[in-house]
Amino acid sequence: MDEFLKWYFSDRPVIAAMLGADGYDHTLGDFTAEAWQNRERERVRWLERLSKAEAPTLDDAIDRDLVVSQLRGDIAMASWPVWRRDPSVYLGSIFTAMYNPFQNRLKPEPELVSAAISRLAEVPGVLAACRANLDPDLAAPLLVKRGLGQARTGRNFLTRTIPSMVEDPELRAKLAEAAEPAARAFDDIVTFLEGFECGGTWRMGERLYSQLLREREMLGYGAAELHEKGKAAWAELDARMQEVAVKVNGSRDWRAAMEVIMDDHAPTLDDMRAEYEAETHRAREFVRRHDLVTFAEDEECLVLPSAEYNRPVLAVAHYLAPPPLSASRRGVFFVPYTPDDFTPEQVRQRLRTNARAQMPSIAVHEAYPGHHWHLSFIAENPRTVRKVFRTPYFVEGWALYVEKLLHEHGYFDTPAKELAHLDFRLFRAARIIVDTALHCEDMSIEEAETFMSTKASLSPGTAQGEVNRYCAWPTQAPSYLTGAIEIDRIRASFTGGLKEFHDRIAGAGGLPLGLAEKVALA
């Protein structure tokens, strides 16, 4: 396993540095076609070797099977080469590599700047690989347009945003100067993407989608059954929401009740951030008072505006975990600010979809005892591979599971907050339905946007952003409710106390659900 991780980190230095591994923060890595092809061959060799490895203990077997599940998923994805289809593979690596070190601040500022300058020198090469590798027959116009939105933020991000995070004036000026060649490379990739003509599809297809569910996520079913689970969950939640809606506005029409709820929101984006921060503190105190989990020592959750480069592609709250291979236990709950070019009406719609009654559910999900608690807690797990590999089917499933957990303990203490909580769960059921239908060719983008804006309480603009994300990230959207349901099922078989269950299953990592069940019920 140590040999495997050494290969994995050297091949993916951006990921290694993001995890807090030493020695990988001066390079972006190799993005040439030859490197991608070598990576595919090495995965096959590692799968063969690890599949034969003896595991003397249950923990060793879990570690091995975790890596094997990841390798099987990666090998399956070789038939769907994202590096030929999607420019965000290249752009996202650059943005992450430049932003996260200054956000996490694990090293002195001069060292951070030195590493950033080394990486900036490699940006033109990475973007040249993007131009060379994108295949007009495979790349989808939707994904290229999405990447173009990110690329257009590149110059400002490198020459202004990142230098502004440096406190020392001389170092700031040095970094801004070094960023100019990289910024010109971003100008060039914007021009390239604007003129790039392609005719590929973003639809993954049912065969590969089901294969990933079974082999990478270790679920016992494929896309068709998952789709039906989503429909059943939506119907059940719809009925419950009708009952709660009566308490909100005297009608069983929960959509109308949610419209009323969403009209009560913060007046500005900055006010929204401040209110989220207060709600995050309230959630933490509630979890501690009810003794639901064990907290990591020195953990801290900051609540900040979303990074500029993410605003064109992420319309919802999200979380940056503390690097698990480091000593840091400080994470960041990012509040979903809008891009600078949004109209006042678009900003208002973003505020409406982060209404005051919705904030408790979102703070629980992103912070306590959701992502921040979970990912700061697993950073203390002694098994290194548990910190490196995790699946959204557990991580997102856990965050939605704890929303329901806190509902059971009375956290959502008004009908409006309860309805918002149920609405978020129903929204995740709608995601299952739409994501499986989109990628199995049963639904158009327009039909998906209509579904999300009528079967969940999303504004048309937010629904459009959501569906755009599903097209670019197949299988991720169903992970929330699927994982929550599976964790609930495992909990029903657990014979110990509630806190013991939470610490055991979530403290084991972000395992595929089949492995999480083995750990919990061992």
Over residues 255-300, the pLDDT tens digits come to 999 999 999 999 999 999 999 999 999 999 999 999 999 999 999 9
Q: What is the mean pLDDT of residues 199-205?
A: 96
Give percent above pLDDT 90 in the chain. Answer: 94
pLDDT at 487: 98
Query: Of all residues in the chain, what percent carry a pLDDT higher than 70?
Result: 100
Task: Supply the pLDDT for residue 174.
Answer: 97
Helix, strand and coil in the chain, % to nearest 5 = 65, 5, 30
Residue 251 to residue 64: CA distance in whole angstroms? 53
Over residues 65-75, the pLDDT tens digits come to 999 999 999 99
- What is the model's pLDDT at position 314? 79
| Average of per-residue pLDDT across 200-220 | 96
Confidence (pLDDT) at 315: 81
Say what the alpha-carbon torsion angle 53, 515, 287, 380 is, to the nearest 10 degrees. Answer: 0
When pLDDT is cut at 50, 70 and 90, the band that residue 344 belongs to is very high
Q: How far apart are CA 209 and CA 214, in angstroms?
A: 9
Residue 12 predicted with pLDDT over 90: yes
Residue 88's CB: how many other CB atoms inside 10 A? Answer: 22
Q: Order across the sheet with 300-305: list the strands.
A: 300-305, 330-335, 318-320
Question: How far is 156 from 13, CA to CA, in rounded Å?
Answer: 24
* pLDDT at 313 exceeding the cut of 80: no
The residue with greater pLDDT, 82 or 442, is 82
The answer to whether residue 382 scores a pLDDT higher than 90 is: yes
**How many helices (DSSP H) and strands (DSSP E) are in the chain?**
26, 3
Gap between the Cα atoms of 29 and 252, Å rounded: 55
Return the bridge partners of 331, or none.
301
pLDDT at 461: 80
Helices (H), ranges, 20-153: 33-51, 58-76, 82-85, 88-104, 109-133, 141-151
What is the tens place of the pLDDT at every residue in 151-181?
A: 999 999 999 999 999 999 999 999 999 999 9
Predicted confidence at residue 308, as pLDDT, reads: 84
pLDDT at 393: 97
pLDDT of residue 195: 97
Residues in the chain: 522
* 420 pLDDT above the threshold of 90: yes
Question: Sorting pLDDT into bands at 50, 70 and 90, what band is 310?
Answer: confident
Handedness of CA 33, 35, 41, 43 (dihedral sign): negative
Q: What is the predicted pLDDT for the residue at 81?
A: 97
Per-residue pLDDT tens over the stretch 500-510? 999 999 999 99
Structure tokens at 425: 């769960």
Nearest alpha carbon to residue 392 among 375, 380, 408, 373: 375
Give the pLDDT of residue 309.
78
The rounded mean pLDDT for the chain is: 96
Cβ neighbour number for residue 170 with a 10 Å cutoff: 10
Residue 303: φ, ψ to 5°: -120, 110
Q: Yes or no: say if 436 and 226 are a contact pair by the CB < 8 Å rule.
A: yes
What is the pLDDT confidence band of residue 457, given thresholds at 50, 70 and 90?
Answer: confident
Q: What pLDDT, on the 0 to 100 scale, is given for residue 423?
A: 96
The pLDDT value given to residue 462: 80
pLDDT(301) > 80? yes
Quick one: average pLDDT of 99-110? 93
Q: What is the pTM of this model?
A: 0.93
